[in-house]
Amino acid sequence: MEYFKIGEIAAMRGLKGEFKIKSLTNMQRERFKVGNKLFILENNIYKQLIISSYRVINENDYLSFEGYDDINKIEKYRGFDLFIEANQTVELADNEFFIEDLVGLKVYQSNVLKGIVKDIISYPQGDYLEIETVDGDRLIPFRDEFIESQDKEKIIIIEMEGLL
């Protein structure tokens, strides 16, 4: 079975063991439905977790899992990655992308490597690529007028002074 990373357990909240999730998906409502299965990689084995609750607090995703209702029992999972099975993927329309597919891509400008996509940040005016460069993190609007081309390995941004 093949698995895709969709997030990371960032922290714990409350005595009943709620997981704060750093989501790498822009489809939280579909991925985090009660009853859905997620997986963690523990001792080189994918361990199934079933979602018992999902909520958003201050733009942060929080999940609870069946059988994991004590903070003392779940603290060891901080930093673990969350996965879905490959057969749970969703078909995308043209010009739509999964966040997990963008993070880690190399970013080029004029055939020069400028950095790596660190994260995608959503603002009301649109999505931005957070690019990790040698000079620090930079934000690039993720819109057609700034992206020259993109494939599974790299993103090429337009030539514009001050962009990167």
Q: Which domains does the chain have, with CATH numbers?
A: 3-87 (2.40.30.60), 99-157 (2.30.30.240)
Q: Which pLDDT score, from 0 to 100, does residue 91 have? A: 65
Higher pLDDT, 14 or 90: 14
**Contact 105/155 with Cβ under 8 angstroms?**
yes
Whether pTM exceeds 0.85? no
Using CA atoms, how far apart are residues 100 and 119, in angstroms rounded to an integer? Answer: 9
150 Cβ contact partners less than 8 Å away, ≥ 6 residues apart: 105, 156
Mean of the per-residue pLDDT values of the chain: 87
pLDDT in tens, 46-68: 999 999 999 999 888 999 999 98
111 Cβ contact partners less than 8 Å away, ≥ 6 residues apart: none
Q: Which two tokens stand for residue 154?
A: 């790299």
Res. 82 pLDDT band, cuts 50 70 90:
very high
